[in-house]
């Protein structure tokens, strides 16, 4: 996955993400593609969650999956989640759950609950940072005011780090793939460096939904695992998504 | 660009989405949170049932590739339905509703919905 929240020089916040999934879950030699990734693409849907006929939040999802990986609470915040690998992973959380220890939350149920019930960027950030989880994760959160963009690095129990946009430091965007931002990414899977290079080349002056789509369309940020790209603009309350393909030559991950 | 990781020059002018990296647009559906949880996903699942069944079959094929005896799938179909009632609402009832509309065994819909945690295995 790749998620990015950026602030342009007028203070607008834009949030984009590639949802990559299906690694090592069956390679289709003839079509040079991952089987599960290709089976997920037709299931991609945009959802408008309503209460009293009013939109509560919108999301890009896979039909049949009730949790949330990508969503916007119009005019309030935007949220995406990327996978985080850790030895202290989800299988331990599942074991605890089966053994009756049920005070943790399933990751995508937490994101769904935050999108449904949180009413501000700060409230969403607090809940994502402090709720016990069954599996580690990265939460990428954007708000509706200048500077409101962060990456929350979560272990199952703790919030390990929160990296925020800081214009004074020249950090006009935050970008996450699947590795802790203070560490080098796995050398065989460095999508961070090319993504950041393209963001810096775009510059804060030119960043927009369109140019974030360009960044998310650049190989290997776009790869064989990429099922969809979503673009969100909190001030407009807009969410749009596109099913992707990665023509050969293309990285399997 | 022709050796892994096939890093390209930064793309420009890709939007509006077009060309070989754009497979297609995504349909919109409304999920009415005023409905009972078991009814909320009926429209989506009625539309996407065939694709959902195909995707779950692909996961089952993969599981059978690892455990040809079919025991793994049996485990999913027997154990995970017992687990669904431990999941918090509204998720538990929404998952049951999806299984009812799609006709997919409940355990397999549960597996799809907790896949992120399972995948770490």
Contact yes or no for B48 and A83 at CB 8 A = no
Tokens in use for A197?
Answer: 């290079």
If you search the block for the tokens 């049949």, which residue do you land on? A64
Give residue-wise pLDDT tens across range A11-60: 999 999 999 998 888 889 899 999 999 999 999 999 999 999 999 999 99
Strand partners, A116: none
Among residues of chain A, what percentage have pLDDT more than 90? 92
Strand ranges (DSSP E) for B26-67?
A: 28-32
* CA A37 vs CA A20, A40, A252, B67: distances in Å: 8, 5, 11, 21
Predicted ipTM of the assembly: 0.94
Asked if residue B29 lies in contact with residue B43, where contact means CB atoms within 8 angstroms, the answer is yes
* CA A52 vs CA A56, A71, A120, B35: distances in Å: 9, 20, 20, 10
Sign of the CA dihedral with A45 first, then B114, A51, and A78 last = negative
Among residues A122, A5, A162, the alpha carbon closest in space to that of A70 is found at: A5
Q: Please check the confidence at residue B4 and state whether its pLDDT lies above 80.
A: no
Q: What is the distance between the alpha carbons of residues A76 and A61, in angstroms, rounded to a whole number? A: 20
Contact yes or no for B121 and A91 at CB 8 A = yes
Residue A41 pLDDT: 97
Q: What is the distance between the alpha carbons of residues A65 and A138, in angstroms, rounded to a whole number? A: 19
Which residues in chain A are closer than 8 Å to B118, comparing Cβ atoms? 90-91, 94
DSSP annotation string for B61-84: HHHHHH-TTSHHHHHHHHHHHHHH
Q: What is the distance between the alpha carbons of residues A233 and A140, in angstroms, rounded to a whole number? A: 14
Which residues in chain A are closer than 8 Å to B111, comparing Cβ atoms? none
A101-140 residues touching B, CB cutoff 8 A: 102, 105-109, 112, 116, 134-135, 137
Tokens in use for B58?
Answer: 């692909």
Tokens in use for A155?
Answer: 């272990």
Give residue-wise pLDDT tens across range A198-213: 999 999 999 999 999 9
- Across the beta sheet with A13-20, the strand order is A173-176, A2-7, A13-20, A226-233, A238-244, B22-25
Give residue-wise pLDDT tens across range B47-74: 999 999 999 999 999 888 888 999 989 9
Q: Please check the confidence at residue B120 and state whether its pLDDT lies above 80.
A: no
**Is A1 annotated in the active site?**
yes
Q: How many CB atoms lie within 10 A of CB A126?
A: 14
Among residues of chain B, what percentage have pLDDT more than 90? 78
What is the chain A residue with the closest CA to B91? A66
- Across the beta sheet with A77-83, the strand order is A159-164, A149-154, A137-142, A77-83, A70-73, A54-62, A44-51, B28-32
Q: What is the distance between the alpha carbons of residues B119 and B105, in angstroms, rounded to a whole number? A: 20
Which residues in chain B are closer than 8 Å to A97, comparing Cβ atoms? 83, 86
Asked if residue B104 lies in contact with residue B56, where contact means CB atoms within 8 angstroms, the answer is yes
Q: Please check the confidence at residue A5 and state whether its pLDDT lies above 80.
A: yes
Mean pLDDT score of chain A, rounded to an integer? 96
Strand partners, A232: A15, A239
- The SS3 assignment for B106 reads helix
Q: How many CB atoms lie within 10 A of CB A155?
A: 16
- The SS3 assignment for A167 reads helix
Q: Does A243 contact chain B (CB < 8 Å)? A: yes
Residue B2 pLDDT: 67
Provide the b/e sequence for B80-117 (b: ≥16 CB within 10 Å).
bbebbeebeebbbbbbbbbbbbbebbbbbbbbbbbbbb
Q: What is the distance between the alpha carbons of residues A81 and A19, in angstroms, rounded to a whole number? A: 9
Q: Does A201 contact chain B (CB < 8 Å)? A: yes
Q: Is A134 exposed, middle or buried (0-12, 13-18, 19+ CB in 10 A)?
A: buried
Give residue-wise pLDDT tens across range B83-100: 999 999 999 999 999 999
Give residue-wise pLDDT tens across range A135-188: 999 999 999 999 999 999 999 999 999 999 999 999 999 999 999 999 999 989
Among residues A178, A241, A177, the alpha carbon closest in space to that of A209 is found at: A241
Contact yes or no for A26 and B27 at CB 8 A = no
Contact yes or no for A50 and B32 at CB 8 A = yes
Give the distance, in angstroms, between the CA of residue A52 and the centroid of all CA atoms in the same chain.
28
Which residues in chain A are closer than 8 Å to B76, comparing Cβ atoms? none
Q: Please check the confidence at residue A86 and state whether its pLDDT lies above 90.
A: no
């Amino acid at each position: 996955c790749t998620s990015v929240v950026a602030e342009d020089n007028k203070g607008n916040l834009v949030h984009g993400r590639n949802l990559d999934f299906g690694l090592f879950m069956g390679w289709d030699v003839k079509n040079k593609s991952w089987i599960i990734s290709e089976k997920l693409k037709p299931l991609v849907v945009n959802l408008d969650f309503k209460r009293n006929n009013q939109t509560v939040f919108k999301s890009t999802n896979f039909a049949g999956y009730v949790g949330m990986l990508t969503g916007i609470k119009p005019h309030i915040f935007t949220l995406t989640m990327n996978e985080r690998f850790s030895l202290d992973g989800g299988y331990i959380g599942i074991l605890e759950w089966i053994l009756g220890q049920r005070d943790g939350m399933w990751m995508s149920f937490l994101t769904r609950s935050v999108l449904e019930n949180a009413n501000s960027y700060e409230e969403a950030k607090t809940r994502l940072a402090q709720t016990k989880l069954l599996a580690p994760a990265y939460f990428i959160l954007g708000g509706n005011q200048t500077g409101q963009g962060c990456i929350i690095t979560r272990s199952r129990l703790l919030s390990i780090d929160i990296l925020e946009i800081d214009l004074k430091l020249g950090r006009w965007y935050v970008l996450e793939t699947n590795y802790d931002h203070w560490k080098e990414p796995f050398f065989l899977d460095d999508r961070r460096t090319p993504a950041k290079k393209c963001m810096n080349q775009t510059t804060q002056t030119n960043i927009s939904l369109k140019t974030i789509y360009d960044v998310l369309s650049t190989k290997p940020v776009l790869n064989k695992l990429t099922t969809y790209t979503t673009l969100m603009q909190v001030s407009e309350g807009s969410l749009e998504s596109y099913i992707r393909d990665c023509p050969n030559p293309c990285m399997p991950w | 660009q022709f050796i892994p990781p096939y890093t390209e020059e930064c793309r420009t002018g890709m939007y509006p989405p077009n060309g070989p990296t754009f497979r297609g647009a995504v349909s919109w559906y409304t999920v009415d949170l005023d409905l009972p949880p078991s009814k909320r996903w009926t429209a989506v699942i009625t539309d996407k049932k065939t694709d959902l069944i195909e995707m779950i079959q692909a996961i089952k094929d993969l599981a059978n590739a690892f455990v040809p005896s079919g025991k793994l799938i049996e485990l999913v179909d027997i154990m995970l339905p017992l687990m669904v009632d431990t999941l918090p609402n509204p998720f538990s009832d929404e998952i049951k509703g999806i299984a009812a509309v799609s006709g997919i065994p409940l355990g397999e819909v549960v597996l799809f919905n907790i896949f992120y945690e399972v995948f770490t295995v």
